[in-house]
Chain A
Amino acid sequence: MAGLRPVLGALRKAWGRSAAGIRSVTGNNMTYLGFTLLFMMAPSAMVFFSILMALVLFLPSSGDPLALIPAERFALWPLPERSRWLLRLVTPWLNPLAWLMVAGLIWKRVGFDLWAAVTAIFLLGFFASHLPGQKQRLGRPWFASVGPMGQIAKLHLRQIRASLDFWCALLLAVPSLGFRLAGRLDAAADLPLTLVILIILSTIGVTLFGMDGAGGLTRFALWPLAGWRVLFAKGVPFVGVAVACTLHLAPLAAFGGALLLLAVGHFRSLAYTGQQMRWRFRAGHGFAMAMLQMVSAILAASAVDRFSKWALLVCLAIYGALLWWCGRRLSQRMGWLES
């Protein structure tokens, strides 16, 4: 049993650190907007965003702490079978959600159906954390034909998929599609829902390079690509996701809004050097940038939806101008242009 204490101690540390990534929600645009709405006397809006984020965070937070130890390392340790079983029994309780499940069972005010459903999701996340990571291929032939920009776009699409912001947007998009198909979604809800989905996705627009790490940026610097092309390739999947999530709502408004989210976000994307974590919410760059970005997108989307489709041209012009300007700055940073 002597080997158990250090393993448990190390697991407690490692789990605590890996769970600390949850704190990224505090830098997400949804949090900023939620607090703004709270101060504008709309607490229900804050509750709405909080529930949405909690739902999406629940699954990746349900992992088994023991899964943090690579299987080969665990197999190499000279631990007797009894110790392994003991670890198997004890380590799930390092995850606070396991205690929450037990509390839910004891607390009689929680209905059994709800408890069973939440526990099932918890167990799904728990066992899924032991599955080996899915191997993905980046360069399928059809995509390779569009050159390095296609590869960058595909890489960014994958990075978007690994952000909880995207799944949060889907959590809103899919049910609303169901309501639309069932004919139970009022047309008046189209623009507000589109705006909410844009806001959910907006933090991705300011952290375009957040998941590339130093290695990724070095690779971009090595490629003979102009900065605007890199930014454009990164932006295409973002706009694509925003439009795809709102196809049943107001896709043109989403297109205009997403262009403005990106255009304003480019400034901060270039300045950002931190690393975003996979399967966590993106953390942005503070309140002022979040507000500027969201207000621009809301104005753009509303203008396209309520006034004229020609407003899209203005959005495209602003996007093009800022893409060119930020692209030049990126080229300078990557050493392709004299600063």
Chain B
Amino acid sequence: MIECRGVSCRYGDTVAVDKLDLKVAQGELCVLLGPNGAGKSTTVKMLAGLIEPAIGTVTIHGVKPCNAKARLGVLPENLGLIDDLTVEEHLWLSAGVYNVPSPEERIEQLLQLLGLSRGRATFARECSHGMRKKTAFAMAVLHNPRVLILDEPFEAIDPVSTRMMMDALTQAAARGTTVFLTSHVLAVVEEIGHRFLLFRNGRIVLDERREMMSRPLAELYFELVEAPVTERLEWLGCDPS
């Protein structure tokens, strides 16, 4: 379970997260949505124990995130890959760090599932952004954590791998894993999310369970978070001469 009580975080004069109160129950798949710079990644960092909130407390299963690392699987914003290791070596490294017993089968399955088998021997520095993200995703789930915290897992991922990741997350949540993720891909998260948090300027403007939602997610997002700008690029497409 994830719990935040009155959590705030600032960068200089900018308030990234403002008095966030949040409880994510075990087995819940909670999605945080918001525009760029709304404070989503800062929230993820606080939940993952990468930064301390200026005010308030964050707990994962009743303890501070820094004391719950073995139970956490995180896909950080910068992916945290080592340029000079291959895709497969990253998974072996992760298996060793989290003491996964006989990880061969899991690694093989993850490589297959995410379509990384052919690129398994590619160095992280030479991977496409999608491959790097899939590698970081595989590292997050490899040790079967009780809590998954994923920062934009679906961005830059191909449709087949997206489907595989969606199924994996849905299955993990059904078996009791708490999943907290941020995303901009509304169609994907609308399908798998149990609960949606709309975030604007560091505050939650909507906290709704899927079954309670009266309108499509995109509609709510445009209404409550930010509406598309009405400005038109009149010059675009005109004859340059």
Q: Which residues of A contact B (CB under 8 A)?
A: 2-3, 5-7, 9-10, 13-15, 17-18, 68-70, 72-73, 75-79
Contacts of A79 in B (CB 8 A): 97
* B237 smallest CB distance to A (angstroms): 18
Say if the beta carbon of B80 comes within 8 Å of chain A. yes
Contact yes or no, A17 B81, CB < 8 A: no
Which residue on chain A has the smallest CB distance to residue B85?
A: A14
A70 & B97 in contact (Cβ 8 Å cutoff):
no
Q: Is B96 an interface residue (CB 8 A)?
A: yes
Are B96 and A7 in touch, CB under 8 angstroms? yes
Task: Tell me, yes or no, whether B207 is within 8 Å of chain A by CB.
Answer: no
- A3-B98, A5-B96, A7-B93 known; A76 and B48 CB under 8 Å? yes
**Bound-complex Cα distance A70 to B75 (A):** 13
Q: How long is the Cα–Cα vector from A9 to B89 in the complex, in angstroms? A: 10
Asked whether A72 and B50 contact (CB < 8 A) given A2-B99, A3-B97, A6-B96, the answer is yes
Q: Which residues of A contact B97 (CB under 8 A)?
A: 3, 6-7, 77-79
The contact sample of 10 A-B pairs, CB cut-off 8 A, is A5-B96, A6-B96, A10-B85, A14-B82, A18-B84, A73-B81, A73-B82, A76-B50, A77-B69, A78-B69
Interface size class of B (residues with CB under 8 A): 20 to 34
> Given that A3-B98, A14-B82 are contacting pairs, would A78 and B49 also be in contact in the complex, using a CB cutoff of 8 Å?
no
Tell me, yes or no, whether B74 is within 8 Å of chain A by CB: yes
Asked if B89 contacts A13 (CB within 8 A), the reply is: yes
Expressed in whole angstroms, the minimum distance between the Cβ of B137 and any Cβ of chain A is 14
Q: Which of B58-87 contact A (CB under 8 A)?
A: 69-70, 72, 74, 76, 78, 80-85
A residues in contact with B85, CB < 8 Å:
10, 13-14
Task: Given A3-B99, A72-B50, A78-B69, answer yes or no on A10-B76 (Cβ-Cβ < 8 Å).
Answer: no
Chain B residue at minimum C-beta to C-beta distance from A21: B84
A14 to B123, CA, bound (A): 10
- Known contacts A6-B92, A13-B84, A77-B69: A72-B78 contact under CB 8 Å: yes
What 8 A-B pairs have minimum CB-CB distances, sorted nearest first?
A6-B96, A73-B80, A78-B69, A78-B70, A14-B84, A17-B84, A10-B93, A3-B97
Q: Is the CB of A6 within 8 A of B95?
A: yes
A77 CA / B96 CA spacing, docked (Å): 11
A10 and B95 CA atoms in complex are apart in Å by 12
Chain A, residue nearest B76 (CB): A72
Nearest to A76 among chain B residues (CB) is B74
Q: Which residue of A lies closest to B80 (CB)?
A: A73
Residues of chain B lying within 8 A (CB to CB) of residue A10:
82, 85, 89, 92-93, 96
- List, in ascending order, chain B residues with CB within 8 A of A73's CB: 76, 80-82
Given contacts A10-B92, A17-B123, A73-B76, 14 further A-B contacts (CB under 8 A): A3-B97, A3-B99, A6-B93, A6-B95, A9-B93, A9-B96, A10-B96, A68-B82, A70-B78, A72-B76, A73-B81, A76-B74, A77-B69, A78-B72
Expressed in whole angstroms, the Cα–Cα distance for A68 and B84 within the complex equals 8
**Complex alpha-carbon distance, A253 and B123, angstroms:** 44
A residues near B82, Cβ cutoff 8 Å: 10, 14, 68-70, 73
How far does the alpha carbon of A75 sit from the alpha carbon of B74 in the complex, in Å? Answer: 11
Q: Which of B82-125 contact A (CB under 8 A)?
A: 82-85, 89, 92-93, 95-99, 123
Q: Is the CB of A78 within 8 A of B89?
A: no
Q: How far is the CA of A14 from the CA of B83 in the complex (A)?
A: 8
How far is it, in angstroms, between the C-alpha of A6 and the C-alpha of B97 when the chains are bound?
Answer: 7
B72:A76 contact, CB within 8 angstroms: yes
Q: Is the CB of B98 within 8 A of A78?
A: yes
A76 to B78, CA, bound (A): 13
Chain A CB count within 10 A is highest, among B72, B78, B93, B97, for B97
Closest beta carbon of chain A to B166's beta carbon, Å: 23
Q: Which single member of B50, B95, B123 contacts A75 (CB below 8 Å)?
A: B50
User: Is there contact, CB below 8 Å, between A76 and B69?
Assistant: yes
CB distance from A99 to the nearest CB of B (A): 21
> Complex formed: what's the CA distance from A9 to B97 in Å?
11
| Chain B residues whose CB sits within 8 angstroms of the CB of A15 once the complex forms | 84
